[in-house]
Structure 1
Amino acid sequence: MTGTEPHDVPSAAQLVAAVRELLQSDVLPAVEGPVRFHTRVAVNVLAMVEREVELGPAQAREHAARLAGLGVADEAELAAAIRAGRLPDDERLLTALEAAVRAKLEVTDPAYLTAD
């Protein structure tokens, strides 16, 4: 198995990476003004998609396990339980919330995780 079944190579992640690299290396240096800005935005969006494709499945499994450990099914139920005071304000809840935020940052902007 290549990890892309039932699809052929290149994978979705490889396609997104190829488009991002093209925009970053060929298009971005050749454009100015608003088109340059929009190209930079597109490069950043494609980088986020790459990271979500790569990290998302494992993050989703880990998040579901954390939620189940807190006795809730999803983030809406978690928020409702916190608002209602049904969850103890303890290390387990804080750890779950921190892990959820970290997972989001790993996809949206991992530089925030390494910033001083």
Structure 2
Amino acid sequence: MHDRPDPCEILTAAAAFLRRELIPALPPELSFKTRILANALDLVARQTAADGAAADGTHARLAGLLGREGSEEELAADLARRIEEGAIALTDPALIDHLWTTTLAKLAVDQPNYASYRAETGAAGLQE
């Protein structure tokens, strides 16, 4: 167990500092590049926060879908093979649930402001 601030809080604070203090004081070209950096810090913070829960959920769904244990990489490769061979139909409700849930988890990290993601999950938009 680590003390606070945790890595997500540090990254979030750094991004907020860039947006609040640095970007307004920079010339346009550097302001744009610094905004990209702030967005990257936000993405890493979201990824760090989501890693454990998303990985556990993905592994559990894959194991349930395939009826066996293994590493997430092994299970994902097995799933791809079974889909390719037709052993798991693209219309399988468990497959659809897995793919949909995985996609939403990835969007939560990569594109949380994406309108369709927000509409599907009821998530509020994040500040830019």
Alignment TM-score, normalising by the size of structure 2 = 0.76
Match of 2:62 in 1: 67
CA RMSD of aligned residues (A): 1.9
**Could you tell me how far apart the structure 1 residues matched to 2:77 and 2:33 are?**
34
Q: Which runs of 5+ in 2 are unaligned?
A: 69-73, 121-128
* Distance in 2 separating the partners of 1:32 and 1:56: 36
Identity across aligned pairs (percent)?
33
Q: Judge which range, 99-108 or 38-47, deviates more.
A: 38-47
| Residue matched to 1:53 | 48
Shift of residue 55, structure 1, vs aligned partner:
2.0
Asked if 1:93 is matched to 2:95, the reply is: yes
- The structure showing larger relative contact order (alpha-carbon pairs under 8 Å, at least 6 residues apart) is 1
Map of 2:83 onto structure 1: 82
Residue 104 of structure 1 is matched in structure 2 by 106
After TM superposition, the score normalised by the length of structure 1 is 0.83
After superposition, the C-alpha distances for 1:14-54 in whole angstroms (9 at most, x for unaligned) are 21111111111111112233322221111111111121222
Between the aligned partners of 1:13 and 1:107, the Cα distance in structure 2 is: 13
Say how many residue pairs are matched.
111
| Misfit runs of 4+, over 4 Å | none
Residue from 17, 25, 29 that aligns with 2:20: 25
Matched, 1:114 2:118: yes
Q: Which runs of 5+ in 1 are unaligned?
A: none
d(CA) in 2 for partners of 1:78, 1:41: 36
